[in-house]
Amino acid sequence: MNAAEAKELYLKRPAARAPDWAGATRRAARERFAAVGFPTTRDEEWKYTSIEPILKVPFGAGDGRDEGVEKRIAALGLDGLARNRLVFVDGRFSRRFSRVAALPQGAVAGSLADAMNEQRERIEPEWARYADYDDRSFVALNTAFAEDGAFVYVPAGAVAEPIHLVFIAGTSDEPTVAHPRTLIVLERGSQATVIETYAGRDGEIYWTNAVTEIVLRDNAVLDGYKIQMESDRAFHIATQQARLGRDAVFVSHSFALGAALARNDVNASFAGEGADCTLNGLYVTAGRQHVDNHTRIDHENPRCVSRELYKGIMGGKSRGVFNGKIYVHEHAEKTDARQTNRNLLLSEEAWVDTKPQLEIYNNDVKCSHGSTIGQLDEAALFFLRARGLDVQMAIGLLTQGFANEITSRLKHVGVAALMENVMAKKIAAMSAEERRW
């Protein structure tokens, strides 16, 4: 199928069920998707990433079959990350494998579809208000067709224990697509840790098209983690949009380790003065994987701080993309923003396209950005080999050290241990394939 044929295929599908109050937005998103269609490499924002592999597969709707899901969660090492765990299978909430054991009074963690029907007063003012679908095809597709997802709400002044959102796909025998939607709202002065994990059955072809909207009221604090460990034949497209109130603090840790083709859009906007945003990211590719990271931080108000560090490790014939923009608006004086992208190529055939950007419309700011692309230090390799390490172990040790700048920043002990274990295995497999040293 070409892009036009694929668009028509999705437009023929019935709209997802939704309460009456959401109908107009659903229809508007569907109409917008009909108008813009799927992006191509002629679009500047998709210049380095072709979605043709997605368009070639006639994805059906998953049936939410959850046999084997618990074993899959355990095999991935996800069991002990949080006492509060919401599980979604093919985008649908699974009560069977979910548990909410420790939340403060008034907090909510559950199905977004249920909340849209039962808690309209909380959902309607926020749902589909921040992740713009006017010029984002995949956000429009999600807004029109999302059947379910997660809703996390923390009341003013409350501190919530970690909440783990587990999205499992690829449970059907045929290729399927899921459009999970997540809405996270932290009221004034509240705090929470939310972990999003995306995974599926090994070797299966499926597509996850996810959207997460985050609303932080004044002085709210969110420590967020996204772990993408999809099947090596899967596709993953995701948009995260955060809105920070006055003096709010948002820390995002993004790990892109799986999928044949992945695209992550991470965006944040400062809706109040004095807010602080940190975006940390690590993407690791092997074989013919392709991972595209797009970030945008909008400094719309004065005296806000943003820090961004994304690191990539590419092996085999894989491709990485980083496109980050810091946008400082006219009245955002005293902005303090730094952006860094560093990339390590383990193979002569691996490639990365990096484009850090600053767009500044105020003179009273401190802003910087930069990127590096390099290979392992031959002298360091020689040093390790001279002390008895074989080539594979030396490559693995140096590569792990490169990644540790990101993993060492993780506050959640369970996530840190999981990432160290997963990264060690992936890097060991990658270093075993590299023979040029």
**Is residue 387 in some structural domain?**
no
Q: How many angstroms separate the CA atoms of 128 and 148, rounded? A: 13
The whole-chain average pLDDT of the chain stands at 93
Confidence band for 385, pLDDT divided at 50, 70 and 90: confident
pLDDT at 252 over 90: yes
**Is residue 298 in some structural domain?**
no
Confidence band for 411, pLDDT divided at 50, 70 and 90: very high
Name residue 305's beta-bridge partners: 276, 336
Q: Which domain holds residue 247?
A: 3-272
**Is residue 59 in some structural domain?**
yes
Q: How many angstroms separate the CA atoms of 129 and 194, rounded? A: 20
Crossing angle for the helix pair 378-386 and 391-407, to the nearest 10 degrees: 120
Other Cβ atoms less than 10 A from the Cβ of 289: the count is 24
The total number of structural domains in the chain stands at 1
Q: How many angstroms separate the CA atoms of 272 and 303, rounded? A: 9
Position of tokens 């090596």? Answer: 232
**Is residue 60 in some structural domain?**
yes
Residues whose CB is less than 8 angstroms from the CB of residue 347 and which lie 6 or more positions away in sequence, other chains included: 314, 315, 316, 317, 318, 433, 434, 436
Confidence band for 378, pLDDT divided at 50, 70 and 90: confident
Where b means 16+ CB within 10 Å and e means fewer, 78-95 reads: beebbebbbbbbbbbbbe
Instruction: Please check whether residue 381 is in contact with residue 394, taking contact to mean a CB–CB distance below 8 angstroms.
Output: yes
> Mean pLDDT throughout 236-248?
98
What are 202's two structure tokens?
A: 């090994």
pLDDT at position 436, please? 53
**Is residue 280 in some structural domain?**
no
Of 286, 276, 281, which is closest to residue 265 (Cα–Cα)? 281
pLDDT at position 435, please? 52
pLDDT at 434 over 70: no
Q: What are phi and psi of 140, to 5 degrees?
A: -60, -45
pLDDT at position 397, please? 85
Of 150, 203, 147, 198, which is closest to residue 175 (Cα–Cα)? 203
HSE-up of 284 (CA within 13 Å, CB side)?
28
- Which stretches does DSSP call E strand in 346-383? 351-360, 365-374
**Is residue 386 in some structural domain?**
no
Pairing of strands 92-99, 84-89: antiparallel
pLDDT at 346 over 90: yes
> Mean pLDDT throughout 40-61?
93
HSE-up of 384 (CA within 13 Å, CB side)?
17
Q: Provide the phi-psi class of 37: left if phi over 0, else alpha when psi is between -120 and 50, else beta.
A: left
Burial of 324 (0-12, 13-18, 19+ CB in 10 A): buried
> Mean pLDDT throughout 115-127?
96
> Mean pLDDT throughout 44-60?
94
pLDDT at 214 over 70: yes
> Mean pLDDT throughout 322-330?
97
Percent of the chain with pLDDT over 90: 80
pLDDT at 424 over 90: no
Of 236, 180, 239, 240, which is closest to residue 207 (Cα–Cα)? 236
Instruction: Please check whether residue 287 is in contact with residue 316, taking contact to mean a CB–CB distance below 8 angstroms.
Output: yes
Q: How many angstroms separate the CA atoms of 326 and 129, rounded? A: 21
Name residue 99's beta-bridge partners: 85
Residues whose CB is less than 8 angstroms from the CB of residue 131 and which lie 6 or more positions away in sequence, other chains included: 139, 143, 211, 212, 213, 239, 241
pLDDT at position 381, please? 79
Q: How many angstroms separate the CA atoms of 25 and 7, rounded? A: 19
pLDDT at position 261, please? 98
Helix (H) or strand (E) holding 150: strand 149-154
Of 47-61, 259-273, 322-336, the poorest mean pLDDT is in: 47-61
**Is residue 424 in some structural domain?**
no
**Is residue 236 in some structural domain?**
yes
pLDDT at 188 over 60: yes
Of 196-205, 301-310, 365-374, 382-391, the poorest mean pLDDT is in: 382-391
Pairing of strands 84-89, 108-111: unpaired
Give the predicted TM-score (pTM) of the model: 0.95
> Mean pLDDT throughout 66-77?
87
Pairing of strands 149-154, 84-89: unpaired
